[in-house]
Amino acid sequence: MNDGKRENSELRTRFQEFGTQNSQLGIHNLEAATRNPRTGTQKQIWITDVATVTALGNNLQELWQRLLAGQTAIKPVTRFPVHNYNAHIAACIEDLKPLGGRSMVQILLDQLCNGMGPVPSDSLLITATTKAGIDSFERLRRGIGADSQDVLPSRIPDMISQKFGLACKAINISAACASSTIAIGCGAGLIASGRAETVLVCCVDLVTEFIFSGFSCLQALSPVPCQPFDRDRRGLTLGEGASALLLMSAERARQENRSFLGTILGWGVANDAAHITAPARDGCGLIQAIHQAFKKAGLQAEEIAAISAHGTGTVHNDLMELIAFREVFGRREVPIHSVKGAIGHTMGAAGGIEVALGLKTLAAKVVPPTVGYCNPEKGAEGVVSPEPEDMVGDYLLTTNSGFGGVNAAIILGRGSID
């Protein structure tokens, strides 16, 4: 067996040990998989470094400041013709263009990686994307030169491994719009169980005509900027972006004198299996994922200070979430927000970007506004706000849902992010 195949085999074994029946998602059998097989205890998971690139900011601090100001990056699309589609807007990163035969995803990942500090060479790598460098596929179909390898999801981890000089092979998780949330949960589980000391999670997705046309055919796009949890909402608005998070065991982080930006306390994943694109109306899958996260974190619902919701602005998703949150939290008014009205729906990158923003939310003790929210949907009154609001507490729940009925939840604890 050559070195590349041996490394792949070793990593695959580690992920199979972690998720005993579902190595693709890597987080099946959560209760057993996150216990250290030697000590029976669970390690603490710190987030020690983060980076984001979105249409609203080239870094996390810029994104946070503009989000608090209630700004939006949603604008008319100029990257490709949109006159044949039922929407003409998206949150595209300005000046993001393919370079030579390289996909835009390579350019975006270069920018993302340049925003990260040193990454230990023994880090495991988990990436998340739904369509990778799909813009290269479009160009190839039109007879324009492009690198066909960029179309493969496996190209993403290969690029990042090379960029940081990582010794171990990686995996990519593609689970619709919950991809990066699941990737973070997978990384956290590997550390908690003692199977890894440090894990780098990177997520990325683009707005291209292929993706835009698909959502248009589903009649899922709003002709106006999306309005999460608003009774007049008309659909989602696409966005693009990338996020990187370096996870470490607390012991390793202290040894390396790393920053303590926050901690991952709990995570959960469930599939409602109700419909290929629509969520279960009763929110059963999301409810199950949240309860898994509570159990893992050892927390009760009343300890959650705020919720970073998926909040896409579609009729069915937003109503499903409100039903699920009411079932979990009862009549307690927990502040809920969505960032989709500011940066669009970044698909497979959404969870990673929202976890990064969750760290800022906890550090600042401020719940960001839900941009585009004006007329409350039933159940959103008093919990969703178009203005920033003070937050009391140390724990934040962040959730994402996706096509195929997938739902994922993560509970974050406060760190000391600036």
Supply the DSSP string of 44-81, one letter for each residue: -EEEEEEEEEETTBSSHHHHHHHHHTT----EE--SS-
Average pLDDT over residues 335-363: 98
User: Under DSSP, is residue 313 helix (H, G, I), strand (E, B) or coil?
Assistant: coil
- Is 366 a residue whose pLDDT tops 90? yes
- Is 5 a residue whose pLDDT tops 80? no
Q: Are 67 and 369 in contact (CB under 8 A)?
A: yes
Average pLDDT over residues 376-400: 97
DSSP string for residues in 392-416: -SSEEEEEEEEGGGEEEEEEEEE--
Domains of the chain: 3-414 (3.40.47.10)
Average pLDDT over residues 163-188: 95
- Is 235 a residue whose pLDDT tops 70? yes
- Is 16 a residue whose pLDDT tops 70? no
How far apart (Å, rounded) are the C-alpha atoms in residues 122 and 369?
A: 39
The confidence band for 338, taking pLDDT boundaries of 50, 70 and 90, is: very high
Task: Check residue 416 and give its pLDDT.
Answer: 74
Average pLDDT value for the chain: 91
How far apart (Å, rounded) are the C-alpha atoms in residues 168 and 304?
A: 36
pTM over 0.75: yes
Task: Check residue 334 and give its pLDDT.
Answer: 98
Task: Check residue 168 and give its pLDDT.
Answer: 84
Average pLDDT over residues 99-111: 94
List CB contacts of 165: < 8 A, sequence separation 6 or more.
121
The confidence band for 169, taking pLDDT boundaries of 50, 70 and 90, is: confident
List CB contacts of 67: < 8 A, sequence separation 6 or more.
56, 339, 342, 343, 357, 368, 369, 371
Q: Are 192 and 224 in contact (CB under 8 A)?
A: no
Task: Check residue 42 and give its pLDDT.
Answer: 75
Encoded tokens for 320:
């499903």
How far apart (Å, rounded) are the C-alpha atoms in residues 170 and 159?
A: 10
Q: pLDDT digit string (tens) for 288-313? A: 999 999 999 999 999 999 999 999 99
Radius of gyration over alpha carbons of the chain, in Å? 20
Q: pLDDT digit string (tens) for 34-71? A: 544 444 467 899 999 999 999 999 999 999 999 999 99
Average pLDDT over residues 270-286: 94
The confidence band for 214, taking pLDDT boundaries of 50, 70 and 90, is: very high
Average pLDDT over residues 332-354: 98
How far apart (Å, rounded) are the C-alpha atoms in residues 116 and 70?
A: 26
Average pLDDT over residues 219-235: 98
How far apart (Å, rounded) are the C-alpha atoms in residues 255 and 147?
A: 41
How far apart (Å, rounded) are the C-alpha atoms in residues 61 and 67?
A: 10
Task: Check residue 41 and give its pLDDT.
Answer: 60
